[in-house]
Structure 1
């Protein structure tokens, strides 16, 4: 089980390598700059020694190799984890060599004064912290580079001062390596949490996108179904008008015959029923035409008072037969609208008032509000129940 956990911890996903190599090229160029500065110090302190040059050549070779590896990865982006895995292994191998070279160079610095070793220690410590910043996403490379360089630096201090002071510095350096290792694990955990959160959000976004597409498809189907219904109503209303018209012609012929009173009453009843059906079919045809956009307003300017008096004359007999009357209070106003559509709306409201509030007075009031005319139609009937008010614009709803 322990071996399995180690393998799982050392395995790198493709997103880790993508993130690592996106940062590596610039990081290793900076590393070469740091190494060059340390090399200048080593050559200044040990001008006759060959080892600073060997150390510098090895560092430049390994760092340049890592920069070239990062450049190749970013310019030939592997397609999957299998293709990316060799790059990760090569990175770990080269960072191991860099860590060993840093550690071995500490022993060379330990042959001089303490302040020379101290400057080298600061350079190595800063580089180790930089490794955590740039390599924490690939923990095996980061941990290997830390524990190949920092412990060797600690032993170099013991080599320089085998006494208590050297041992104390060794302990502090090892503690520093431990803290950096913990920081590496925590930063990787933070990165994994962010990646998991991003994947979760991407999945949710995909679900929402798919749901939105399904809703759009359902909306499109509903619109098509509604248009089909409207077209059907239009055709049905149009076709049914012909037999209704024929019934009207037959009743007209029957009225010209010498019929008794009872037969004439039956003829009038048939005629009234035919007219009611014709009006209903006309309403259905108007609704279907509205649904399919077949009605376009044709506004024109006209006198509203004379227009309303014409509607009152059309309904005066019906109001008188019901025991009521139609009253109007208006001003000398001109309006710019479609007279046919306005007439249909007012006629529907007046006829409903006469039908559902028989014997009451219907009042039509017009007043000016700014550049608009406000028209109110009211009656003395019981009105609409409160629970039915929200349905007044529903098609075919009846309280």
Structure 2
């Protein structure tokens, strides 16, 4: 400990010298002022004496030298400890001469009256205290300044009064020097701790800054990865949906042929496999779009009865295959919600019920929760869900542990998508189920609004699709052939094109792909055909795109659209609406 203190006393780091010399220039100018006032007193007390002038010249010379040294240091600002060390040594040497000058001057003052010596003592004591405040960063200079002046001042008092009074004053002077020395050590210790803390904080700040830069780089990489993922999904969605869509259309054509039972079974197997691929692909793309924030709710005023009727039409074939029944209790309730997202939620819940509760009755009812909100309940009387599975039932890729669930194809994403879509729209999705008692899922928090206008149907045709002239446009030959073959099986007169027809073809409806690989997309094709035909030809757009901007654009266009792979029943229902002259609801056509 003693060795460390002696080392600290004899050496100094650059930060100590920086602090010392930053204060020194002004301090030594003030010191010269104090010396000048003291010299005036000495000249007044000892007129005609030479020694006050010699004392003044010596102490002023050393003070000016110290001020110049401080000025050079602050302007040159040494770069390291080695370059700064000579300045510290010069400071200590000059401080020694200043202290000695003050101490020797005290003996001159002791030759006169006591009150002159007392005033000189006050001046010296003040400069000693000032030395502690300005030089404690360099303890060597501080101690030299104190112990070359204060002890000599004590001896001067003893010289003035050799008796007991002089001894007492000398002892007091020594105690004063000791107190100032202790104060100097404490100031240095506090200052050193402050510097160490500052360095530690600077180091931590540097680490935090570096970590922040790394996190920012990681964030940028994540954003770029999400954008790449979104772009991949946009292209993969279209490319993967095309062949699955064609398979579904071809199998629908095969079902209408007079096939033997074995062939019909094969066709049914192919169709089921295509539907499974379609559902799995749709779930993966939906959950991926949710992950990258690609879905933004667009609430509208909608009739729940209309939405549920459309979903009932879409699930007619699935209900027949599962042997189940769908009961929708009309409520006449209008709410504010995104029709596409709400329909997707309901469709996922119905699909789950038909898949895992085959032969069960699925019941949909709407009830009011207070004056301003409605609750949509989808229930079935199937086998129910075990309590152990309920707490995980909304987790992604989770499937219930019973054998009945594992026999069905799926990824365990349907309910996860339902809850996440509900969260996007501010809805609360809850479940109530028990083994052997069926399942009820509630979508709560739907804002109730005033009813809107309901469209009035036009006159109906006697045979909806028979003779309906449909212009089909798709740049994929396989999809074009499959669509045309299916429509002809339904009795439609089909005109096939891979791009915009050159002239009016006299069509009653248009079915166009969205991405046609040319300068015109599906919107442009429909607009040009309507212009050539001279009337607002009913049209539907088929798309394999999944990015939110395109889907939002389609939803706002006023043209019904189907997501590939579209089920033939959905396309048939849409064309039937065109043939009957009904106003097709976008919400019914946009969910697939």
Q: TM-score, normalised by structure 1?
A: 0.86
How do 1:1-399 residues align onto structure 2 when only pairs under 5 Å count?
Answer: 6=6, 9-289=9-289, 291=291, 300-315=300-315, 318=318, 321-328=322-329, 330-333=331-334, 335=336, 337-358=337-358, 359-365=360-366, 367=368, 374-380=374-380, 382=384, 385=387, 389=391, 392=394, 395-399=396-400
- 1:83 is paired with a residue whose SS is helix
Rounded to whole Å, the distance in 1 between the matches of 2:171 and 2:238 is: 100
Shift of 1:364: 3.8
Rounded to whole Å, the distance in 2 between the matches of 1:81 and 1:177 is: 30
In the superposition, relative to structure 1, how do residues 52 and 178 fare at CA in structure 2: closer, same or farther (>3 Å)?
Answer: same
**Structure 1: 5+ residue stretches without partners:** none
Shift of 1:391: 7.2
Rounded to whole Å, the distance in 2 between the matches of 1:224 and 1:388 is: 36
In the superposition, relative to structure 1, how do residues 211 and 158 fare at CA in structure 2: closer, same or farther (>3 Å)?
Answer: same
Rounded to whole Å, the distance in 2 between the matches of 1:360 and 1:84 is: 91
Tell me if structure 2 keeps the 8 A contact 1:230–1:289: yes
The 10-residue stretch of structure 1 (266-275 or 248-257) with the greater mean CA deviation from structure 2: 248-257
In the superposition, relative to structure 1, how do residues 328 and 66 fare at CA in structure 2: closer, same or farther (>3 Å)?
Answer: farther
Rounded to whole Å, the distance in 1 between the matches of 2:110 and 2:304 is: 107
- 2:79 is paired with a residue whose SS is coil
- 1:29-63 deviation per Cα after TM superposition (whole angstroms, max 9, x unaligned): 22222222222222221222222222222222222
Rounded to whole Å, the distance in 2 between the matches of 1:4 and 1:275 is: 83
- 1:256-285 deviation per Cα after TM superposition (whole angstroms, max 9, x unaligned): 443222321221221122122123223334
Shift of 1:125: 1.1
The 10-residue stretch of structure 1 (89-98 or 205-214) with the greater mean CA deviation from structure 2: 205-214
In the superposition, relative to structure 1, how do residues 61 and 275 fare at CA in structure 2: closer, same or farther (>3 Å)?
Answer: same
Tell me if structure 2 keeps the 8 A contact 1:237–1:284: no
Rounded to whole Å, the distance in 1 between the matches of 2:325 and 2:365 is: 14
The 10-residue stretch of structure 1 (278-287 or 129-138) with the greater mean CA deviation from structure 2: 278-287
Shift of 1:10: 1.4
- 1:379 is paired with a residue whose SS is strand
Tell me if structure 2 keeps the 8 A contact 1:147–1:177: yes
The 10-residue stretch of structure 1 (348-357 or 66-75) with the greater mean CA deviation from structure 2: 348-357
Shift of 1:375: 4.4
Shift of 1:109: 0.7
Tell me if structure 1 keeps the 8 A contact 2:324–2:354: no
**Structure 2: 5+ residue stretches without partners:** 401-592
- 1:201-234 deviation per Cα after TM superposition (whole angstroms, max 9, x unaligned): 2222222322333333334444444544454454
Rounded to whole Å, the distance in 1 between the matches of 2:169 and 2:237 is: 100
Shift of 1:89: 1.6
Rounded to whole Å, the distance in 2 between the matches of 1:386 and 1:13 is: 68
Shift of 1:3: 8.9
Q: TM-score, normalised by structure 2?
A: 0.60
In the superposition, relative to structure 1, how do residues 249 and 328 fare at CA in structure 2: closer, same or farther (>3 Å)?
Answer: closer
The 10-residue stretch of structure 1 (123-132 or 72-81) with the greater mean CA deviation from structure 2: 72-81
Name which structure has the greater RCO, CA cutoff 8 Å, separation 6+.
2
Tell me if structure 2 keeps the 8 A contact 1:350–1:362: no
Rounded to whole Å, the distance in 2 between the matches of 1:374 and 1:72 is: 82
Tell me if structure 2 keeps the 8 A contact 1:319–1:326: no
In the superposition, relative to structure 1, how do residues 315 and 124 fare at CA in structure 2: closer, same or farther (>3 Å)?
Answer: same
Tell me if structure 2 keeps the 8 A contact 1:251–1:270: yes
In the superposition, relative to structure 1, how do residues 16 and 390 fare at CA in structure 2: closer, same or farther (>3 Å)?
Answer: farther
Tell me if structure 2 keeps the 8 A contact 1:38–1:123: yes
For these two proteins, the number of residue pairs brought into alignment is 396
Shift of 1:294: 5.6
Rounded to whole Å, the distance in 1 between the matches of 2:5 and 2:172 is: 30
Shift of 1:113: 1.1
Shift of 1:365: 2.1
- Alpha-carbon RMSD across the aligned residues, in angstroms, is 3.1
In the superposition, relative to structure 1, how do residues 4 and 136 fare at CA in structure 2: closer, same or farther (>3 Å)?
Answer: closer
- 1:308 is paired with a residue whose SS is helix
- 1:259 is paired with a residue whose SS is coil
Tell me if structure 2 keeps the 8 A contact 1:21–1:73: yes
- 2:149 is paired with a residue whose SS is helix
Rounded to whole Å, the distance in 2 between the matches of 1:331 and 1:25 is: 89
Rounded to whole Å, the distance in 2 between the matches of 1:128 and 1:351 is: 92
Rounded to whole Å, the distance in 2 between the matches of 1:219 and 1:99 is: 63
In the superposition, relative to structure 1, how do residues 350 and 334 fare at CA in structure 2: closer, same or farther (>3 Å)?
Answer: same
Shift of 1:322: 4.6
The equivalent of 2:566 in structure 1 is: none
The 10-residue stretch of structure 1 (248-257 or 159-168) with the greater mean CA deviation from structure 2: 248-257
